[in-house]
Structure formats: structure tokens, C-alpha cells
Amino acid sequence: MAVKAVFFDIDGTLLNDMKKVQRSTQKAISEMKKQGILVGLATGRGPGFVAPFMENLGLDFAVTYNGQYIITRDKILYQNQLPKSLIYKAIKFASSNRMEISLGSADGLLGSNIINMGTSPVGQVISRLVPKKWTKSVERGFKYLVRRVKPQNSQYLLTMMRQPVYQIVLITTKTQLLREEFPTATVTRSSPYSADVISQGQSKIKGIARVGEVFGFDLSEVMAFGDSDNDMEMLSGVGVAVAMGNANEEVKAVAHYVTETNNKDGIAQALAHFGLIHVEQEKVFGSRDDNFNRVKDFHQLMDGETCEKPRVYDLEEAGHRSGFKAEEIVEFLYATSGGNTDLFKNAVEDLHQAVDKAVQKVEAKGEPVDNPLVGQVDALTDLLYFTYGSFVLMGVDPKPFFDTVHEANMGKIFPDGKAHFDPITHKILKPDDWEKRFAPEPAIKRELDRQIQKAKMKQRKKEI
């Protein structure tokens, strides 16, 4: 499964606790963009808030207000206004229940001073420091303090509701009460202190699906990052779901992978884990061949270390490595035979004869092996060259398929967070759900169909 689009929640995910995008995240986004991977946001924030991030980071799109308002850097893809009757009811409900309320317009949140303070950098830091069991007490105290300084003006809100409103935000911990009061709306939560009210059936995942229809990707080809309750449906519906280390346990439970926190390069770590970017490591050499670097990341993940100095394989280990390659050659012949048993059997017999002939050729030369390392590197380089040659003669660009297989291989981590190996050959084993989640064949077929269609179009242009 190749990842075509990556979506980030903002607060607690894209931003660290000081409301900054970490340098490692900026570099990761730049690297993904160079590879042609689409990158966007999926957030409860509004379009006015996300616009600077889109411009500064070169993002492709943003699903804002939990799916109610979707934009690119130069146009609106989708917008869904809340009914005036719902907005009016929410304002009256908030007033009678002494709840602070804000209305989400295209320009930003209008209304509560408490909400504005809570979404500020200082407010975000405080919210993460306060234990969950204190949430209700802090909410009551905070509302009392701010109201004494500047009480909320309901008449102002009734005036502001004349313009389009896409989301309602209320300061409350009583999520169930809101769901009972507004049964025709969806109530979600991106903060322990506030709740978002949007149209029924709307969500981040629905917004991502709408973006996919425009940009040509499926939900199975999406990787998403999140940390809050309003991210759970999104993480449950995408191909690769990543929960930040600072997420609550419910969010972590629905994710495929839990990364580091938003303060400790969590985004870059997860993208490297799944092979979408390469992260330079101390005392680890890198190659100008990026495919080599990505396979090295794979072995670093699986083995916990890599070899940083040229060495010779011993005969047993070389035999295992040759066996891995032989298995792939046999699969190549089986695919070529179309699954026909007789044709496949004949092809394997021809392969045995080719091996015997190669043995005779090598033995007939009888050349001394002065430097085994030179001989091993020479043979492996020829194998690599022959493999590229096979792709050349097939008319197939191998890069997208390498990316797909690499991502699938990076998924061979078991639920215990470790790689498991064959006790004899040390071959990496596959978790039970690997085929369902990571098997590369469907993505390979889609990419082949794309390359074939592209070649046909070129041929038609030549004929014209």
C-alpha cells in the first residue's frame, strides 16, 4: 500500500506545546513534497488559522472545522454552513446554562474570550499541564475569572450569526448533555475543556474522503496523525494511523503506530518508521542511493543496528541471503508461467540446469579468490544491474514499486513492538494481519495500470 497523502491534526500534533512546527517536521514535509506525496491538515481549527501554515509549509489542502470547510492554498473545495436555527438554539442554550460559546466563521472564532485564551500558546501549555481529574474545577474557575473581567455578550453573537457559521465551540466538559440537547448535530472534542458542534454526519474522515475525490487517492492510501478525541474516527478510517505519544489512551488504541510526542520529533520519527522519509542517524553512513538508505532504515528498525564497515559474509550467511534471492526468482518464474503447473515445473528444471551450468563455468575457471569481499560485491552489483535491466526490458519504472514494497516491509513489526525472525535463516517474519494491512499487490496493480495507460496515451499522440 503506497501512501499518496498525509494529513496532520494541528494542536498537539503538527504543533509542539509552544505552538511551533518542529524543524524535523518541516524537513519531513519538504522531503515528502519532493517525492510527490500530498500533504495537508485535518483540524478543528478554522481556515483563517490554518492559512499561514499552508503557505509557509507549502501544504496542498486543509480539512478545517472538522470537515465543514475544505480549502487549498488558492480556492475553497467545500463548505457546509450550520443552520441558523441550530446556531440560535446553541446561543440561547449557552446563555441559560452559563456556558461560554464561540462561532466559527471563515475568518476565525467569534465570541468567547475564554476560548480565545484557551487556544493561545499559554492556554495550550496550561491545558497539558493540568491533570484530567482537575478539568471540571479548572473550567469552572477559569469561566468565573474571565466573566468577572469581561462577561460574554449574547446580543453580539446574535448579530454575528448573520454571517456564515461552520462550527460552534462551547466551553464545557458535558459532552453527553450537548448530544442530548442537539440530536441533529455531531458533537466532538479536541480539548478537555471545550466541545465542537458541527453538522450531523460531518467529520475529519469525511472531509479527507472529499479531498481524495478531487486529488485522486483512496482512504487506504492516506496516512494520518492525531492526538485527540476528534481524531479517532479519522485514525480508524485511513490506511496508516499514527497516534502521537501525547495522545490519550483511547486514541492510541485505534492507531496502527504510536510515535513520540509532539515535542520530541514524533512526526519525523513515524514517517521514517514507515519509510516515507530518510532520517540521518549519528555514526551511520548514508549513500547517494536513496533506495539503499531506505532499506538501511528498515534493517535499523528490524535488527536494532546496521553494519557501518565493509565486511565479508561467511558461507552460511551468504547461503541464506542467496536463498532469499532464489525464492524471489522462483516466484518470478511462477508468475511468468501464469500458474500453469507444467510450465512452472519446466521453468524450474531449466533454472536448475542454469545453476548447474554456472557451477561448471565457475569451477572450470578455477580462479583463485584473493579477496572474497571484492567477489561478493561484484556479484551482488551484477545482480542489481541485471534486475534493473529486467525492468528496462519490461518497460516498467521500478521506483514506485520499490516505495510500495518498502512501506509494506516496514509494517513487519509485531504487536509487541518488535521484529520476529526465523530461528535458522534469520528471515524477518510477517505478523498475522500483515497481508490485510500491508500486502503490496493491490498498490502494484494500480501503479502498473497507471504506467500502462500513460504509455498508451504517448503512443496515441505519436500516431496522431
| 213: in domain | yes
CATH number at residue 220: 3.40.50.1000
- Look-up of cell digits 517474519: 429
Closest CA to 87 of 184, 167, 155, 173: 167
Give the strand pairing for 167-171 and 257-258: unpaired
According to the model, what pLDDT value does residue 164 have?
95
Question: Distance (Å, rounded) from C-alpha 80 to C-alpha 69?
Answer: 6
* Full residue range of the structural domain in which residue 166 is found: 84-199
Q: Which three cell numbers stand for residue 9?
A: 491534526
What letter does residue 173 receive in the DSSP assignment?
Answer: S
Distances (CA, A) of 422 to 18, 153, 300, 425: 46, 68, 17, 6
| Consecutive 10-residue averages of pLDDT for the chain (464 residues) | 91 92 94 94 95 96 97 96 94 89 91 60 46 48 47 72 93 90 91 89 96 96 94 95 94 93 93 83 73 86 82 92 93 94 94 94 89 93 95 94 88 81 87 86 92 90 81
According to the model, what pLDDT value does residue 177 have?
92
Same domain, 96 and 195: yes
According to the model, what pLDDT value does residue 80 have?
97
> Do 190 and 197 touch, CB atoms closer than 8 A?
no
Burial 368-388 (b: 16+ CB within 10 A, else e): eeeeeeeebeeeeeeeeeeee
Q: Which three cell numbers stand for residue 262?
A: 509532539
| 345: in domain | no
According to the model, what pLDDT value does residue 61 have?
98
Provide the angle, in degrees to the nearest 10, between the axes of the packed helices 399-409 and 290-303: 10
> Do 64 and 41 touch, CB atoms closer than 8 A?
yes
> Do 104 and 164 touch, CB atoms closer than 8 A?
no
> Do 207 and 63 touch, CB atoms closer than 8 A?
yes
Q: Give the number of domains in the chain.
A: 2
Closest CA to 284 of 275, 276, 273, 295: 295
Convert the pLDDT of each residue in 380-393 to its tens digit. Answer: 999 999 999 999 99
Amino acid at 31: E
According to the model, what pLDDT value does residue 140 have?
52
Q: Which three cell numbers stand for residue 45?
A: 481549527
Q: How many CB atoms lie within 10 A of CB 108?
A: 15
- Look-up of cell digits 505552538: 19
Secondary structure of 14-50 as H, E, C letters: HECCCCCECHHHHHHHHHHHHCCCEEEEECCCCHHHH
Residues 6+ apart with CB under 8 A from 311: 373
Helix (H/G/I), strand (E/B), else coil: 398? coil
Same domain, 135 and 241: no
Q: How far is CA 391 from its chain centroid?
A: 29
| 44: in domain | yes
Among the candidates 199, 228, 254, a domain finishes at 199
Same domain, 118 and 186: yes
Q: How far is CA 98 from its chain centroid?
A: 40
| 315: in domain | no
Question: Distance (Å, rounded) from C-alpha 253 to C-alpha 16?
Answer: 22
Among the candidates 274, 309, 324, a domain finishes at 274
| 405: in domain | no
